A and B are shown apart, each in its own frame.
Chain A
Amino acid sequence: MGGGVGVTVLTVTAPVYLDAASAAPLHPVAREALLAALDDGWADPARLYGAGRRSRQLLDAARQTVAECLGTRADEVSFCANGTQAVHRAVLGGLAGRRRAGDLFVHSAVEHSAVLHAAERHVADGGRVTSVGVDRLGRVDVDAFAAAVRAPGVALAALMSANHEVGTLQPVGEVAEACAATGVPLYVDAAQTAGRGPLPAGWSLASASAHKWGGPPGVGVLAVRKGVRWSSPDPADEREGGRVPGAENVPAVLAAAAALRAVTAEAAAEDARLRPLVDRIRATVAATVPDVELAGDPDRRLPHLVTLSCLYVDGEALLHALDARGFAVSSGSSCTSSTLTPSHVLAAMGVLSHGNVRLSLHRGTTGADVDRFLAEFPAVVADLRRTAGVEGL
């Protein structure tokens, strides 16, 4: 290092961020687009003077880009204030639009909590809900789902494209066929797959969130397929085709679209790069950490996400121990949730919920990052087990 005798070289390792499924780091093109649009797209796109028309032009272009990347028509896409708002509007608007067909909402047991919260509101308003179970890998029971949508009075069905906690891909195509056979619209929460490919075939309503694909936070996408009934669940105005009230955040939308175009172009290469890294995590953790349960489908899964639970380990302590070593991960353990309830996804699958961590990789994650995690993780778990006195139990 060029240092003389007595010089101590400190190795400072950069933090390793492994929580892309919560928020992916901002894509460089999104940053550029955001900075440019702050100057160029600040005006109200509903106004007819020059600056307003410029904002409208940028917004229209962003909508066209997002539509192309998701495989929709531009007039099917509305921008929301965030992904959660898009979910709520998809579910409640989809149910409201089909009020005359019935009041039953069918969804999988492992939908995002935003879907479940919308379902709770539906029930509070007098509606009915059927939750369809999943297998140990988190894949919804297609026969049970098909039976559920054949019941009288089904207004809407919901199945996510892939699970956000365990990465399992859902059989959207098969479920969509069952829904189509009974004329029930299918809402697909595509938060974890948007930017990795088009929306799965058979969707009637869909939603996504820009900060899962490298766009800025604060941009959600609601897609309502042409001809699908949708009715605003709350006061509406003329914005976003009457589907999302309030002026659009044009700079953020533009940045989101730029990021989506970029990650869509990179998707195949990133899939090929990240998938083996997750395979390596799954294989190495299973081999080096005793009593660990790897959740989710090992094959039919998202390329970038893996979840595991360590027997007898406190999830919160595990998060803090990893954070202290520079690893940012999330957890589905009850002690890490504000409600102190375990992840409804892990519970529906029947897998261990304590000692749980989810790792989700992104375009900035390197093989060296993964190797560092794999080198340190066994000792982190062993230390916590030693401290708790549960070794060999």
Chain B
Amino acid sequence: MVYLALIALIGGIACGIAGLDNTAPVEVIVSHKDLILYILMFLVGISIGLNRGIIKKIKEYHIRIFVIPAGIIAGSLAGGVVSGLLTGLPLNESAAIASGLGWYSLSGVTLGNLAGAQAGSIAFLSNLLREIFSFFSIPLIAKKLNYPSCIAPAGATSEDTTLPMMIRYTDEETVVLSVFNGVICSAAVPFLISFCYNFF
């Protein structure tokens, strides 16, 4: 699966660079990516439904379901501060860049407006790298640590782009936690970027 994902990613980038994104099959796929995601989520819902007792397990988590997004936000901000110390960027910019939690499109544009083109570019590329890293680290983390920890590198993308890898390498229960985490992190990103940039 990892190899297939890598081939699909590199193939897509190559098509984009070569200008093939306007050809019929590629354009159809790209313009219908939301529909593909919805079909995937419907199929995931079927998988979850076939797994008896999973909803009951999720309910049992109660307030503890928030530990994953809380850990991701705390860890990301700490990592942003460390990166800032190493690169010499101001603390507020560093924390704000890390606050993207993998959501490269939003963080790139927002930081670009707040702190200038360079910070915007770093936010875009670092969060993009985080998303790509998540794809390929999920199988390793699932094997070496545990399933819920796979959600950590994915951050805000755990409800959409990295969800397919979560589906392949973890279980239905973790997929539900992953979607929940993605919703919380995605909602937090705009506030976190603004808060970190203005108050750190």
A and B co-occur in one complex = no
Q: Which residues of A contact B (CB under 8 A)?
A: none
